[in-house]
Chains A and B, each alone.
Chain A
């Protein structure tokens, strides 16, 4: 049992004041739903490595409401982050295709968008199939069936979705967004992604709950045979067979047997924790210092329940599910009654938030105790809680030099050295500075190491990542966009 005290009562009053004046700032996201092939490193029947290309439907983020200004689709989709006082709109462009490059005929080619846990402000849905679609012979009493729970994006067109009726509608929390059209197929195909709503108060993740860092662990599953069938178009998956259609296609999503178990978009082999600059968290996520508070945002778009379990001393204080904190007593937003667990039930298409603090420094393997793993790897990830090393967000001087600052704990010892890396995303530009002495002369205290770097990193708009690693101090990094 831990309790988090609200320290923001006064602040929230200010926030409400802002809203009373109706000056919520707009925040727009542009997503393109499209077909993408995701490579999975598997082994074949003989145990030899093989790369399987899985056809999926994913979301690509676009710079503007222009399908030609989009990146590549990913699964899960790009993270949507918004403050509770911002007026979020998501524009979705429908570019779903079959393997042959045709527009998808399933669901009349439509797709749509929703955020589980948030009610749309203007819902022009739901959209229904008429009963005659399913039984031409006709059961006149059988009602229509929902196709899309929210308004649809037609092939080659944009559709807008927004949520904010009034202050309080966009509740802080950990969400999953996904297609609201025929979710049994479209979500399974990959149309889902993470969304986070932050409170107006800077350090909070929920009203009354502050943490030092937050990390994302997102589980999903792939049934490769199902993807292949849907990718063929109506020849492979046809829920409403009509006279003249080829026989043999799947008609229902019922039969389901996942072949790949993904964490943060890929199956992870449960290898030894071995951080490198290329993969400094070694297939995991890095939180705050182990004695500080790290929020782990667990999301699952799997169709079956998953069960993240700690393998070490780091226990989970579960504070919320589906973006609803366990406030105690209920009805206020002051104190959260956390539920401390070593394993967390994470049901299909839901989220849970857990705070980790204390326990074990360094890397702890988090496994899916529902045993989601195959030869390609599975839902294994390392939760890295650095113990003696922390980087500060890099800043630029007026002269265009970058200051890299690292804080170390004296327990790192005089003999220890720190390795720095500064990156702008282009590997050729990486600046690596090794063997900087820790120089822990202040017993029991933290000390700071700053390095001034003449570099091309300070151009406005550059995304700079500062990383630091030491033999026993762990790894930490932070990323900023230079303004």
Chain B
């Protein structure tokens, strides 16, 4: 299978801090790839570079065949991106949120209406289409965000903490939709998550990041085998590779915004 996303020594420094340190990974088309790691491991910074929001300090990355620095505009046409924070507008209806993005992604006028209705139906939001998004539940908002960023059928979809702050039921619904995107459209999905059981069931391969570096990479089964196999879970793998990180998690501002987010979505 051809690689649809490839990074070579991708590095980002903020002053003296190296947030992402020589990241080298390769993701095959149609895969669900998980970036795992404690807060502050560099997952979000890596995603921001791959989605052209943040220029790398050094290194290279190709997304769908385009270079993220020299061909940023082409990369943007090939990707969908759901940021960790809330990214739909509460003062518009679900339908309007999608319509605006259908226009921004140059979906032809004749197809727009149908494409938006299809996306809403696919995510189970048809009934709520004309309600203001501020009245949506957390799980509905997440599904709307995914619908919005897949309207143009991107080959690669980035999901940054797609299930943070959701209750188990809403989480399950989001997972099912992500899996269907992969099955029905062959979308390659790159996601970050804190939830190990989520990574275990969704991802065909995972990379564990710690202090900016990839400390382990492989299929969930390979990683479990690497620490002795048996009844080991991905949680044990995580603790094994990123265990000494109790003090590293997130700044005050990050924590405050994450809690606020969780409250808003919950």
Indicate whether A and B interact: no
